[in-house]
Amino acid sequence: MCEQYVRHCILPEIGEVGQKKLLGSTVGILGAGGLGSPVIQYLAAFGIGKLVIVDNDIVEEVNLNRQIIHNYQRIGKYKAESAAESVKLLNPSIVVEPHIIRLDEQNGIEIFKGCNVLVDCSDNHQARYAISAVGVKLGIPIVTGSVVRWEGHVTVLNYQNGPCYKCLYPVMPSTTLNATAKTVGVVGTICGVIGSIEAMETVKVLLGKGEILSNKMLMFNGMTLMHKVIAVCYTFYNFFIN
């Protein structure tokens, strides 16, 4: 077992058996931006055997307050490729598969086929509906998170008959309601907090350990450092617009 995973292997919840399970797992990630940065880095450090990264954007200077997997030397490079480079620097033993493409339901099924968990790090409703539909069709659970301003939330969808994104949002909200970092701003560190929780939930789902955020949502406020976990239902529509 690689020296990199020794601190995992001494944990009773993981051990060598659990670490081998992680090394044999494949995780698909939509988005290599603010949330994708910590998700990809921590999953790579954790030793997830294969990461499939989907993002068709390029690195811009405006991204660097929060998208810490990239740097100034990577400006102009596709985010999926930049993220793959960072993964290889952190953990050269794992496989990284970057896809420079806008995800939709059709190509997503082919791209994410064979994944054990999907992680939604996108920043718009269209992408979330797409990855949710892919997860439902392939029978793959989805860890999804969102950040805006100083706040963020995380939930797990399509897990053991739990709700999908469309269950929570039956009608796609208007694009005018889609608050994003570009329209209202975001604190870089909130991406780190929420992305780290997404990575942790991903590992828990893979290992089948702990309380999974299925049928419930963790909400965090960076200004107050208060958080709460609330039950979600099929009429949750528009509680948190991003």
What CATH code is assigned to 3-231?
3.40.50.720
Report pLDDT for 182: 76
Which residues of the chain carry a pLDDT beneath 50? 234-242
Model pLDDT for residues 155-213, shown as the tens digit of each residue: 999 999 888 888 887 777 666 556 677 788 899 999 999 999 999 999 999 999 999 99
> Domain-by-domain residue ranges, the chain?
3-231
Whether residue 56 contacts residue 101, with contact meaning beta carbons closer than 8 Å, is answered with yes
Report pLDDT for 172: 73
How far is Cα of residue 144 from the mean position of the Cα atoms in its chain?
6
Report pLDDT for 165: 87
Report pLDDT for 233: 59
Report pLDDT for 240: 39
